[in-house]
Chain A
Amino acid sequence: MNKLKRFSPFLGGCAAVVILALLLAVYTLTKPVPITGSKNISIDVVYENNETDHYQISTEAQFLLDALNAIPDFKIDGTASQEFGLMVTSINGRRADYKKDGAYWSLLCDEEPCSYGVSQQTIRDGEHYTFQYTLVSEGY
């Protein structure tokens, strides 16, 4: 009877270490660097019924959330955690909660999906941000 050999985990172990190292390198090298100084940015909030609020601000903030918190008539709420930042569930009192509404606030930078969440998204002069009410079935 042919006895099956056991697969040596050595190669798998080496592959896992190499992949982990590559992932860490790619993530570290491409991490966005916050920009200091004054920046002019614009923000649109597109609600469920396609109603839109528009904001144009000048800010010294480096991250989007800090800039938004400085706008007096802009209210942003959600659940915050240290590792993931703020998970937005409500803007100006209008809710888009994944669990309750099957929808979420997607964040677009110059009409393209932003790479980071609102807490980690660095801002650049002239950039346009959109918070779009998005149904889970239509989203990314």
Chain B
Amino acid sequence: MKKRPLFTTMDLVLDAMLSAILFVSQISLSWLPNVELVSLLLILYTLVFGKHVWLILYAFVLLEGLVYGFGLWWFTYLYVWPILPAAVFLIYKNKMPGAVSISLLSGIFGMLFGLFCSGFYFVSGGPGAALAWWIPGIPFDIIHGAGNFLLSLILFDPLYRLLSSLKRR
């Protein structure tokens, strides 16, 4: 019996397209400080496309590095963004996603984004460097959390329906 490959050509094309959408959403909102659709799209991709989210996510992170440069911040992206799909896999394993709970998850992730990133500076420069990096950015983290919460509350249901119906085709 022929074994099904891990990723078919169709899967790879789809993942590349979803990664491009993720990247374009990031670029198009980059003029607004800490307002982004990446968190919501990662949640949706995890719920609809399951394990494919890892390929989509790391292709996105690589694109970010290629466009903006591989600065220290880039290394934080390697472990900070994956926290979100991991949380979705964990929380929604046996639960139905609802717009409010997804918005709360996305909002909490936004508020903790700076703290998660500071973990890299904790390892590379010690607790002083991590705190000096995290604390001044707290107002931006709060904006990030509020933006994530509102965007998810408005867009989760329509985008979830859209992606689910596209997947079924």
A-B contact count (CB 8 A): 84
Which residue of A has the minimal Cβ distance to B65? A137
Q: Quick check: is B105 within 8 A (CB to CB) of the other chain? A: yes
Shortest CB distance B131–A (Å): 8
Tell me the A residues contacting B by CB distance below 8 Å. Answer: 4-9, 12-13, 15-16, 19-20, 23-24, 26-27, 30, 83-84, 102, 112-113, 115-116, 120, 135-140
Which residue of B has the minimal Cβ distance to A140? B72
Among candidates A13, A24, A102, A138, residue contacting B104 with C-beta atoms closer than 8 Å: A13
> With contacts A112-B132, A136-B68, A137-B70 known, is A23 near B95, CB below 8 A?
no
C-alpha spacing A84/B101, complex, angstroms: 31
Which residue of A has the minimal Cβ distance to B97? A7
How many B residues touch A, CB cutoff 8 Å?
34
B119: A residues at CB distance < 8 A? none
Q: Are A115 and B104 in contact (CB under 8 A)?
A: no
Q: Quick check: is B91 within 8 A (CB to CB) of the other chain? A: yes
Can you name 24 A-B residue pairings with CB atoms under 8 Å? A4-B94, A4-B96, A7-B91, A7-B97, A7-B101, A12-B101, A16-B108, A20-B142, A20-B145, A23-B138, A23-B141, A23-B142, A24-B138, A27-B139, A84-B33, A112-B129, A113-B129, A113-B133, A115-B135, A115-B136, A137-B71, A138-B69, A139-B72, A140-B71
